[in-house]
Structure 1
Amino acid sequence: MNSSKPESTHRRLYEFAKTSLIKIFVLPYATVCDLYCGNGADMDKWDEAQIGHYIGIDTLASEISGFREVWESQRKSHTADFCEADPCVENLESLLREMSVPADIVCCLQHLQLCFETEERARSLLRNVSAILRPGGYFFGITPDSSTIWAKYQKNVEASHNRAGGMKPNTVPNCVRSESYMITFEVEEEKFPLFGKKYQLKFTNEVFSETHCLVHFPSLIRLAREAGLEYVEIQNLTEFYDDNRAQFAEMLFNAGPNVLVDAKGKLLSRSFDILGLYTTFIFQKPDPDNVPPISTPQQDDEYIYEEEWRDDEKRRNWEPISPIPEQAKGLLGPGPTELRYSEPLDLQYFLDSV
C-alpha cells in the first residue's frame, strides 16, 4: 500500500507538524508572511486557519508565479500578495512597504537551515523577520534538529573507532543510516563550525536528497536577540507531539493508524524516528505596551551556556535554549530524550570544537 512507504510517512508527519503549528498560533483574520513559501503546498492550511491576508515570499520566480496562478484560480477567502526575494539577502521591509505589513505571523516552515550557510545570512533573515513582524507577533517554523543529527553521527563515529581501533587521523565515517533515511556529511570530520556545516538528507525510496546546514541553536537565539526577537521555545517534534497528543493524535490516526500511530495515538517506531529529526522553533517580538514585557525564562547560573565566538574571541554567557537541565541536552539543540547525553557535557570539548 502506498501509504506505508517511508517517504509517504515522512511527508504525512511533516504535514501534521505544519498543520499543528498553524492551528496553535494563527488566529482568524491574521496577516501571515510565509518565508520560502514554494509553490503553495500549504495554501489550504492557511485557508482553513481563516487568515485575513497572506504574503508569500520565495527566491524562485517560477514558484511564486505558479503559486499566484493557483491562488487566483481557487478564489480563496483571504487576500494575498506574492514577492520574489531572498529573505537572507534583500531588505524585506522596503520590498513589502506597499503590502499589509507589519504581519501578525512570520513563518519559515522548511528552509531555515539553508540560512545557516553563513552567519551574515542568518543575521539578515532575523533582521527581516523583526522588521516586518508587529510587536507581540510570532515567528515560528520547523527545521531539522541538529542535536539529533549530530548525536546520531557522533554515535556512529564512536562505534567506528571502537571497531577499527587505531583509525588514521581525520578518517571519520560521514554517513548515518536508518530504515527510513540516510544522512551524509559533505566533509568527514569530528568538529563542526557554527555555520556552514553541510549535509544531505535522503529518505528511503525518494529520488533526490535535500542539502541542509546544521542549525546551531544558541547562535540562532543570539542573532534573534540582536534583531529584537525573544526566544519562546525550541522543541523536538517527538515531544511537541506528546505535549499536543490529545489535540492532534486523531489527525495522524485518520491518516493511517497502522503506519503512523497505534490505537492509543502513540507514535510507532518509524514515526518516532522520523519526527525526531525535526524541531519546532518559536520566537516573539516584544510588545512594549504589554506589562510585563515578555522575556526569556530566567535560569539558575548552573544552567548558563558559556560559548566562545571566534570572531572576537570574547566569552559570553547565554541562557540554555530550553528549561531542560544542561546534562540532558545535546550539543546543538533539544533532541529526543533517548539521544540526549546521559552525563554532563564536556564544556571544554565543546569550546575546542568551535
Structure 2
Amino acid sequence: MNKRPREDEPSSSLASAQKRQFGAGGGYGEQGYSEERISAQRVADHYSARSNQTLEERENSPIIHLKKLNNWIKSVLVQLYARPGDCVLDLACGKGGDLIKWDKAKVGYYVGVDIAEGSIKDCMTRYNGDSDQQRRKKFSFPARLICADCYETRLDEYLCEDAPFDICSCQFAMHYSWSTEARARQALANISALLRPGGTFIGTMPDANVIIKRLRESEGMEFGNSVYCITFGEEYTEKDAVDCPEWVVPFHLFKLLAEEFDLELVLMKNFHEFVHEYVQRPEFADLMRRLGPLGDGRSGQSTLSQDEWEASYLYLAFVLRKRGPPPSQRRANNPNRGKTFLAEEDIEFLSI
C-alpha cells in the first residue's frame, strides 16, 4: 500500500491518509528479501522525515478528534492490561506518543523499538522531557531505546537480560510485518520469546473484514471520504505518492499464526464496538471527556465528524496472552539496563 499523507498525519494511522494503497489478496506478500528490505527502509525513511508537531499544531489538525479517539482507545488498552511495576516492550514505538500512557500506568521499565532513526530520536527527546510539546514532569520509569526492524531482527538474545516482559504493545504497525510470511513469523516469534507466561500483547491494526467489505461495495479499486482514500493495486501513477507499503491482514490468519507461537486470543473488537462497550464504564467515560474526541459536553464544542467516525471503523483492537501460568514472583528489572535520561549515544542500533 502506498500513501500520499497529509502533513498532519499521525504515525502509522491509516485513517488520516489522503491516499493509501493496499496489496490486494491479503495475507502474506511474495516479495523477495532484497525488495523487502528496500520496502522496510522506505517506511523508516517516511516516518523519520516527519517532524514533531507542537501542541498548537496538533490541535489545529482537521482530524484532531480522530487522533484523540485513537489515543483514548490505546489508553483504555493500557489501563485494562498494564499493572504497576510492569516491564514494557513497545514495538514500533514511533516518536514516543504512548509514553505518558505508560507513566500513568506506573510501569517499572520501558524498552522502545522502532525502525525509524528519526522517530527514535524524537522519542528520546520526548522521554527526556525537554521538548516544547512535553510540558510535564520527567517520567518515573527508566527506559532503553533501540533502532531496529523488529520484524526482521531477532530480539530474544539481544534483550535476554531484560526479559521476560510483562506486556508488549504494537500500535497501528503490526500489519507492516505481513509483507512476507518470514517477517510475520519473526514478529510473533520476538513477542512470544520476550513475554513471560501469562504476559499480554496489546495492539491495534486495520480491520481487514471492514476494508474488504468496503472494497466489494465500491465500483472500482478505490473508496474513501473527505478524511481518507484507500486504493488497491500494484502500480502508482501519482507523482506525489509516498512509497510506503502496507498490508491487509485477515484476522483469522493472524490468530492462527499467533497460536503457533503460544499467543492466545483474549479480545478482538472493531473500534466502533470497542468504543460502544468501554465508554459505558465510568472511568473510561471520564477519560473520553478529558481527552475530548467527542467534545467535553459544552454547547457548541466541536466533536468527531461523521467522516472521522467512519474512518475509525477501518480499525480493530486486539489482545493476546502468552500461554502458561504467570510466575509466582515478578523478576526484578536488571539495574544495569535503562536510564532515566537518554543521550543520542544511548540509542542502540541493531542490524539483521
Name the TM tier (shorter chain).
0.5 to 0.7
Residue 139 of structure 1 aligns with an amino acid whose one-letter code is F
Equivalent residues, number:
256
The superposition leaves residues 79-121 of structure 1 with CA deviations (integer Å, 9 ceiling, x where unpaired) of 11111221111111111123x2110001101211111111111
**Normalising to structure 1: TM-score of the pair?**
0.65
Alignment match of 2:264 (pick from 230, 243, 250): 230
- Using a 3 Å threshold, how does the CA distance of structure 1 residues 270 and 250 change in structure 2: closer, same or farther? farther
The superposition leaves residues 4-24 of structure 1 with CA deviations (integer Å, 9 ceiling, x where unpaired) of 864222211111111111111
Matches within 5 A, 1:100-111: 100-111=162-173
In the alignment, the residues of structure 2 paired with residue 15 and residue 175 of structure 1 have an alpha-carbon distance, to the nearest angstrom, of: 27
- Using a 3 Å threshold, how does the CA distance of structure 1 residues 258 and 218 change in structure 2: closer, same or farther? closer
| SS of residue in 2 equivalent to 1:246 | coil
Instruction: Name the counterpart of 1:286.
Output: 323
- Using a 3 Å threshold, how does the CA distance of structure 1 residues 182 and 51 change in structure 2: closer, same or farther? same
Q: Structure 2 regions of 5+ residues with no counterpart?
A: 1-55, 131-137, 328-352
In the alignment, the residues of structure 2 paired with residue 283 and residue 105 of structure 1 have an alpha-carbon distance, to the nearest angstrom, of: 10
- Using a 3 Å threshold, how does the CA distance of structure 1 residues 280 and 174 change in structure 2: closer, same or farther? same
Instruction: Name the counterpart of 1:78.
Output: 141
Residue 321 of structure 2 aligns with an amino acid whose one-letter code is Q
Residue 141 of structure 1 aligns with an amino acid whose one-letter code is G
Report whether the alignment pairs 1:141 with 2:203.
Answer: yes
In the alignment, the residues of structure 2 paired with residue 133 and residue 289 of structure 1 have an alpha-carbon distance, to the nearest angstrom, of: 10
Q: Quote the offset at 1:184 in angstroms.
A: 1.3
Alignment match of 1:95 (pick from 158, 163, 168): 158
Q: Is the contact made by 2:290 and 2:296 (CA closer than 8 Å) also made in structure 1?
A: no
- Using a 3 Å threshold, how does the CA distance of structure 1 residues 255 and 139 change in structure 2: closer, same or farther? closer
| SS of residue in 2 equivalent to 1:92 | coil
In the alignment, the residues of structure 1 paired with residue 67 and residue 97 of structure 2 have an alpha-carbon distance, to the nearest angstrom, of: 12
Residue 225 of structure 1 aligns with an amino acid whose one-letter code is E
Instruction: Name the counterpart of 1:41.
Output: 97
Report whether the alignment pairs 1:50 with 2:102.
Answer: no
**Normalising to structure 2: TM-score of the pair?**
0.65
Instruction: Name the counterpart of 1:249.
Output: 285
Matches within 5 A, 1:1-354: 6-73=62-129, 75-98=138-161, 100-156=162-218, 160=219, 173-187=220-234, 211-247=245-281, 248-256=284-292, 269-288=306-325
Q: Is the contact made by 1:261 and 1:271 (CA closer than 8 Å) also made in structure 2?
A: no
Q: Quote the offset at 1:43 in angstroms.
A: 1.3
In the alignment, the residues of structure 1 paired with residue 191 and residue 293 of structure 2 have an alpha-carbon distance, to the nearest angstrom, of: 38
How large is the Cα RMSD of the aligned pairs? Answer: 3.0
Q: Is the contact made by 1:260 and 1:267 (CA closer than 8 Å) also made in structure 2?
A: no
- Using a 3 Å threshold, how does the CA distance of structure 1 residues 65 and 154 change in structure 2: closer, same or farther? same
In the alignment, the residues of structure 2 paired with residue 140 and residue 285 of structure 1 have an alpha-carbon distance, to the nearest angstrom, of: 11
In the alignment, the residues of structure 1 paired with residue 310 and residue 289 of structure 2 have an alpha-carbon distance, to the nearest angstrom, of: 17
In the alignment, the residues of structure 2 paired with residue 94 and residue 232 of structure 1 have an alpha-carbon distance, to the nearest angstrom, of: 27
Q: Quote the offset at 1:180 in angstroms.
A: 2.4
The superposition leaves residues 186-210 of structure 1 with CA deviations (integer Å, 9 ceiling, x where unpaired) of 349xxxxxxxxx9x9xxxxxx9797
Instruction: Name the counterpart of 1:305.
Output: none
Q: Is the contact made by 2:267 and 2:319 (CA closer than 8 Å) also made in structure 1?
A: yes
Q: Quote the offset at 1:64 in angstroms.
A: 2.1
Runs of at least 4 residues off by over 6 Å? 207-210, 260-263
Q: Is the contact made by 1:4 and 1:259 (CA closer than 8 Å) also made in structure 2?
A: no
Residue 174 of structure 1 aligns with an amino acid whose one-letter code is M
Higher relative CO (Cα under 8 Å, sequence separation at least 6) belongs to: 2
Q: Is the contact made by 2:279 and 2:288 (CA closer than 8 Å) also made in structure 1?
A: no
Q: Quote the offset at 1:26 in angstroms.
A: 0.7
| SS of residue in 1 equivalent to 2:157 | helix
Q: Is the contact made by 2:264 and 2:323 (CA closer than 8 Å) also made in structure 1?
A: yes
Residue 279 of structure 2 aligns with an amino acid whose one-letter code is R
- Using a 3 Å threshold, how does the CA distance of structure 1 residues 62 and 69 change in structure 2: closer, same or farther? same
Q: Structure 1 regions of 5+ residues with no counterpart?
A: 161-172, 189-197, 201-206, 291-354
In the alignment, the residues of structure 2 paired with residue 209 and residue 176 of structure 1 have an alpha-carbon distance, to the nearest angstrom, of: 19
In the alignment, the residues of structure 1 paired with residue 275 and residue 113 of structure 2 have an alpha-carbon distance, to the nearest angstrom, of: 28
Q: Quote the offset at 1:63 in angstroms.
A: 2.3
Q: Quote the offset at 1:132 in angstroms.
A: 0.1
Q: Quote the offset at 1:262 in angstroms.
A: 10
Residue 70 of structure 2 aligns with an amino acid whose one-letter code is Y
Aligned-residue sequence identity (percent) comes to 30
Residue 182 of structure 1 aligns with an amino acid whose one-letter code is C
Residue 285 of structure 1 aligns with an amino acid whose one-letter code is K
